[in-house]
Amino acid sequence: MKTIDELLAEGVTGKRVFVRADLNVPLEGTTITDDGRIRAVAPTVAKLAEAGARVIVASHLGRPKGAPDPAFSLAPAAARLGEILGADVAFATDTVGESAKATVAALTDGQVAVVENLRFNAGETAKDDAERGAFADQLAELADVYVGDGFGAVHRKHASVFDLPARLPHAAGYLIATEVGVLKKLTDDVRRPYVVVLGGAKVSDKLGVIDHLLEKADRILVGGGMAYTFLKAKGHEVGISLLQEDQIPACLDYLARAEKRGVEFVLPLDVMVSAEFPDLKTKAPANPELVASDAIPADKEGLDIGPKTRELYAAKLADAGTVFWNGPMGVFEHPDYANGTKAVAQALLDSDGFTVVGGGDSAASVRILGFDENAFGHISTGGGASLEYLEGKTLPGLAALED
């Protein structure tokens, strides 16, 4: 795929360059709680503006139902992008309507504009090729060149990700180039031992990647809500912990395959439990109880890994040549259940290996818990995209950028 440096060498002065970014940041009202994705795309936007392009930034945010919804406006993200760039960023109150057309027409060389949420338009996510294509046609009218840099969306066959690059000269931005380079290190050029840490809520979210990584990894460490389905599969009581009964056969199969292939498949030794889910707004003390992972009371819910597990996982990560971590170890948003996630993050920092934090809640937890994100090998902006790449799937947004 063409790189942005190749595009810049051809010259972009005066050209309208459409940058498909990922500004899908968490919001509390209009306050951005983690601006990592905005900061990640800023170098591409800045370089294009510096070269004299008229930059049009587009993204989705949340899951609006194909119509405008003020709760999902990109206005806060546009304002934050301007702060990061140290420049005024114009904002269009629609995506392809009169405001977008007027805003883009008013741009001069080196200026930047953000258009409103792509998903306020039903054509962005339409399953029908013609409907999606019609929206891509409208987007294409705004620009002369396309730059794909929204890695967090490249696994989606959406109009701005898949259809629009076919309608314009296109190139990959700096973020996508970096993300793909890192993922190739996790698939084609792995330093061993290769240790994978998987957490998060559901086993079903990780089925494909577990299946694929059983052929690649030396160790797989499991925490978070998904651990309880594995514990149940081993015959343990899990109380009222998060459980996917229908995934127990798959868990048993993975455990058997791991043993056959000599892959260490490590589950928690102990967990922090409570009869009630913690209040994440007030952060009121939750009074957690420590129990062995095979002795969870019937009326309690597992909400974090315990100290023995934290120590075990740190030891399993200590000699790693490569680490991929996707998914927190517990309800890290509450201080009483953040210690497991903190321990994994610290173990990655202490490692001499190549460490990759695989996007989503893992990336958010690193920043929220106060770790220096520059100390990790790489923090991905796309959890779902990273997982699908590691599953060996073709990602529509990357395929669309290939020449």
pLDDT, tens only, 233-287: 999 999 999 999 999 999 999 999 999 999 999 999 999 999 999 999 899 999 8
Known binding-site residues for (2R)-3-phosphoglycerate equal: 37, 119, 156
Interatomic CA distance for residues 119 and 140, integer angstroms = 16
State residue 298's pLDDT score. Answer: 96
Closest CA to 205 of 245, 244, 260: 244
CA distances from 377 to 178, 182, 206, 368 (A): 11, 9, 22, 18
Interatomic CA distance for residues 32 and 54, integer angstroms = 26
Rounded to 5 degrees, what are φ and ψ at 101? -65, -45
State residue 169's pLDDT score. Answer: 97
Known binding-site residues equal: 22-24, 37, 60-63, 119, 156, 206, 302, 333, 359-362
Closest CA to 124 of 106, 109, 138: 138
Q: Is the dihedral of CA 349, 383, 400, 207 positive or negative?
A: positive
Interatomic CA distance for residues 145 and 270, integer angstroms = 54
CA distances from 269 to 54, 101, 236, 296 (A): 56, 59, 12, 11
- Element spanning 399, H or E: helix 396-399
| Beta strand segments in 144-288, E | 145-148, 170-172, 194-198, 219-222, 264-266, 270-274
- Element spanning 82, H or E: helix 75-85
CA distances from 49 to 22, 86, 87 (A): 18, 12, 10
User: Catalytic positions, please?
Assistant: 37, 202, 360, 384
List the end-to-end C-alpha distance of the chain, in Å, as a whole number: 6
State residue 367's pLDDT score. Answer: 87
State residue 317's pLDDT score. Answer: 98
Known binding-site residues for substrate equal: 22-24, 37, 60-63, 119, 156
Do you know the residue count of the chain?
A: 403
Q: Which two tokens stand for residue 34?
A: 């983690």
Q: Tokens 């031992």 belong to which residue?
A: 193
Closest CA to 273 of 293, 292, 285, 290: 290
Known binding-site residues for ATP equal: 206, 302, 333, 359-362
| Residues in the chain with pLDDT values less than 70 | none
Count of CA atoms in the C-beta half-sphere (13 A) of 347: 28
Q: Which two tokens stand for residue 77?
A: 């993200």
